[in-house]
Structure 1
């Protein structure tokens, strides 16, 4: 199968950005990482036919560049973008919307604080919708390890959120 940059690789741009953002926690840095990823993939165009899964290759390059960026800038403390929470039901009152936005923010902070492997696995599975097999190939682990990391990540998020939410409800 002939790989075409415009049709096969460029459409991955948004997914690559979300992956880079989840790792770097900085939108400008994530944009830089995606741009660098696309350049690196383009420069490898002579070997595309030898790559089994070009999508997994792109995600691997993006992941590695993101991790390198984080290592180079350890002082990153910014959280994810402050995207508004979309709700089709407009019957919420402003107080409900504030509470929901706070809850989403808390969950994002909890996910950001997870160990690297758990954070990457949950990002790729729950936010990007990747299959366990693809995540395993991308992160260099077995499918079972991916499932364990996702299970542990979800449990940690649930427990930490319930602890925080229970504390705030009493306060």
Structure 2
């Protein structure tokens, strides 16, 4: 059995955990807190690591659960979570064409808003599949659902994004 090292097996997941937490909480500071709490929880359960089949799936599951708990807590306190991330797309081919760059920035921003407006399950599946590149099996393990459910959820999420994007582009809604 492989020896698990916090430094080599858990810490490298930090960015991936942050992206997942950010997709759920929609708030940079809250996502950072979730990642820190995840690291602490995983460390505190180090005596159980030998029984964990996939450390990555375990960490993602802990992170997701903590982010969902934080959302519930924030909602019950009536606090807003509107700190939407907004990194600008950087592509050398658009740098010389300001109009194209502005259109691309607007489109990326719209897609982010549309993804953020999806139900949590669809957001999580899209994050894990389309952004993190996880397999259906890995996503099913992290989310505790069947692979078929992952595929259906992902299909519906992509369909909703495509439909809303096209409506917005067509009608400027």
Normalised TM-score (structure 1): 0.94
- Counterpart of 1:38? 39
Kept in 2, the 8 Å contact 1:70–1:76? The answer is no
5+ unaligned residues in a row in structure 2: which ranges?
none
Partner SS, residue 105 of structure 2: helix
The equivalences for 1:123-142 within 5 A come to: 123-142=127-146
RMSD, aligned α-carbons: 1.4
Q: In the comparison of the two structures, how many residue pairs are matched?
A: 169
Deviations 1:69-90 (A, max 9, x none): 1111123341531111021314
The equivalences for 1:1-20 within 5 A come to: 1-20=2-21
- Counterpart of 1:121? 125
Partner SS, residue 89 of structure 1: helix
- Counterpart of 2:113? 109
1:165–1:79 CA distance, 2 compared to 1 (3 A): farther
1:77–1:41 CA distance, 2 compared to 1 (3 A): closer
Kept in 1, the 8 Å contact 2:4–2:49? The answer is yes
Partner SS, residue 102 of structure 2: helix
Normalised TM-score (structure 2): 0.93
Kept in 2, the 8 Å contact 1:22–1:80? The answer is no
- Counterpart of 1:167? 171
The equivalences for 1:13-92 within 5 A come to: 13-74=14-75, 75-90=79-94, 92=96
Partner SS, residue 155 of structure 2: helix
Give 4+ residue runs of structure 1 displaced > 3 Å after superposition.
none
Alpha-carbon distance in 1 for matches of 2:81, 2:99: 28
Alpha-carbon distance in 1 for matches of 2:34, 2:86: 20
